[in-house]
Amino acid sequence: MVPNVFESHIIDINSQDREAILTHFRWVRGETERLVAPLSLEDQVVQSMADASPTKWHLAHVTWFFETLILTPYYKGYSTPNECFIYLYNSYYETIGERHPRPERGLLTRPSGDEVISYRKHVDSAVENFIANADERTWEIVGPLILLGLHHEQQHQELILMDILNAFSHNPIFPSYLDHITLSEKKAPRLDWFEFDGGIYEIGHKGEEFSFDNEGPPHKEYLEPYQIASRLVTNSEWKAFMSDGGYERAELWLSDGWSIVQNENWKTPLYWKQIDGVWMAMTLSGLQMVNDESPVCHVSFYEADAYARWSGKRLPTESELEIAASGMEIKGNFQSKGLLQAEPADGVLSSFPEQLFGDVWEWTQSSYSPYPGYKPVSGAAGEYNGKFMSSQMVLRGGSCVTPVGHVRSTYRNFFYPHMRWQFSGLRLADNI
């Protein structure tokens, strides 16, 4: 068992509160390194597919973010320890310059892991000095950028776990990131429904606390009366979909999804395999028997949509989920719990549906597009979200590998509809 690497650190930080930002900076940077501690040097270099990145690259890139967007333009006298880092660890920022091709990040055996750790320490020291000494005018600009960098690093903490799981899934000895953790033996409650009135609702982030630019501006939307399921779809229910020919029935699938099912021979969620008649799934605790009561995980939007169609229901819109989650305490099975896999719902009846936060990211039927009045921020930070608002679908709620203090009811995650290496599942919805 990895000793207590998953800590909880929920903090509402004002971007002008230097002391709080410094504390949070140290915690987030340390948490990344604790997260990486169970991995060998060989683990940290591998890149299992073009969409994934090596752990060592993640460690360097989140550091590059602080260096390139904050230290270089705003901290007089700062110098990088290695000019090649600017090229090697740029992800997609066209305004910064050229970058190493994403599918070839696994070829970067050099710089070494020790050099990357040294790079992190160099930048950490500079950022801490900058926080202490920046003049007030500069700090008004830089404080929000440091908060952005910390939330950016938390996104990469989740990516590190997603990517290493994908890498380990290709290894025939099915290695574990964590020792096996036994889930509770509770049974998922029967599926119930929560109804919501139609009408005009305000959607989007409002308030002073941190949010990404794609969460706003707040705006009004009209919703028809709707209902959403009391919990997430389970593995047992997904097995019923499979047994009823869910992956063989073209009428259930969107055209592009059906093409992928045929071309890639999808028969199950990602990481499932049948061994001696028993369904097993690769997890961060190695190969485990599929728990029928747990939420199904690692399914694409196309699969989620096909399941909803098969069940006679539909996926919720992102606005429907946001309204359902409004006013809820943000708690659930997040990374800090240490399970790193989805677990069954509690079945405790309340005024809110269960599992709206944590366990798995929930696919919605909403395309990832700008809210009315949205404008990207100026500079390189404007490339963070806005330029990806095409051909992707929105997910809500966070997952079992999401840092607990990172998610809000307005948080908009997004992936292409065919992707399924993220910890994604679904909840059903319907019209009333």
Rounded percentage of the chain residues whose pLDDT exceeds 70: 97
User: According to the model, what pLDDT value does residue 4 have?
Assistant: 42
Using 50, 70 and 90 to split pLDDT, how confident is the model at 47? very high
**Torsion region of 151: left, alpha or beta (phi above 0 gives left; psi -120 to 50 gives alpha):** alpha
In sequence order, the 6+-apart residues with CB closer than 8 A to the CB of 275 are: none
User: According to the model, what pLDDT value does residue 183 have?
Assistant: 74
User: According to the model, what pLDDT value does residue 297 have?
Assistant: 98
Lowest mean pLDDT of 8-17, 108-117, 182-191, 402-411, name the range: 8-17
User: According to the model, what pLDDT value does residue 385 have?
Assistant: 82
> Which helix H or strand E contains 28, and what residues bound it?
helix 18-36
Using 50, 70 and 90 to split pLDDT, how confident is the model at 379? confident
User: According to the model, what pLDDT value does residue 403 have?
Assistant: 96
18-169 CATH choice from 3.90.320, 1.20.120, 1.10.10, 3.40.50 = 1.20.120
Mark out the alpha helices in 134-234 (DSSP H runs).
136-169
Task: Give me the helix-helix angle, 55-66 and 136-169, nearest 10°.
Answer: 170
Q: What number does CATH give the domain 193-431?
A: 3.90.1580.10
Cβ-contact 388, 266 below 8 angstroms: no
User: According to the model, what pLDDT value does residue 234 have?
Assistant: 98
User: According to the model, what pLDDT value does residue 14 have?
Assistant: 73
- Start-to-end C-alpha separation, the chain: 47
Pairing of strands 424-425, 361-367: parallel
Measure Cα distances from 2 to 5, 10, 172, 338, 399 in Å: 6, 22, 23, 9, 20
State the average pLDDT over residues 164-189.
Answer: 90
User: According to the model, what pLDDT value does residue 7 have?
Assistant: 56
DSSP string for residues in 165-192: HHHHHTSTT---SS---PPP-PPPPPP-
Q: Where are the domains of the chain?
A: 18-169, 193-431
Residue 348 pLDDT exceeds 80: no
Express each pLDDT in 216-233 by its tens digit: 999 999 999 999 999 999
State the average pLDDT over residues 324-338.
Answer: 93
Answer yes or no: same fold for 18-169 and 193-431: no
Express each pLDDT in 64-118 by its tens digit: 999 999 999 999 999 999 999 999 999 988 888 899 999 999 999 999 999 999 9
Residues written for the chain: 432
DSSP string for residues in 245-272: TTTT-GGGS-HHHHHHHHHHT--SSTTE
Q: How far apart are CA 293 and CA 281, in angstroms?
A: 14
- List the structure tokens of 279: 């369904």
Using 50, 70 and 90 to split pLDDT, how confident is the model at 1? very low
User: According to the model, what pLDDT value does residue 95 have?
Assistant: 84
Measure Cα distances from 411 to 10, 138, 207, 301, 426 in Å: 16, 28, 14, 18, 16
State the average pLDDT over residues 297-308.
Answer: 98
Q: Average pLDDT over the chain, rounded to whole? A: 93
User: According to the model, what pLDDT value does residue 2 have?
Assistant: 41
Cβ-contact 53, 114 below 8 angstroms: no
- Amino acid making up residue 370: P
Highest mean pLDDT among 10-19, 91-100, 384-393, 414-423: 414-423
Using 50, 70 and 90 to split pLDDT, how confident is the model at 12? low
State the average pLDDT over residues 164-173.
Answer: 98
User: According to the model, what pLDDT value does residue 5 have?
Assistant: 47
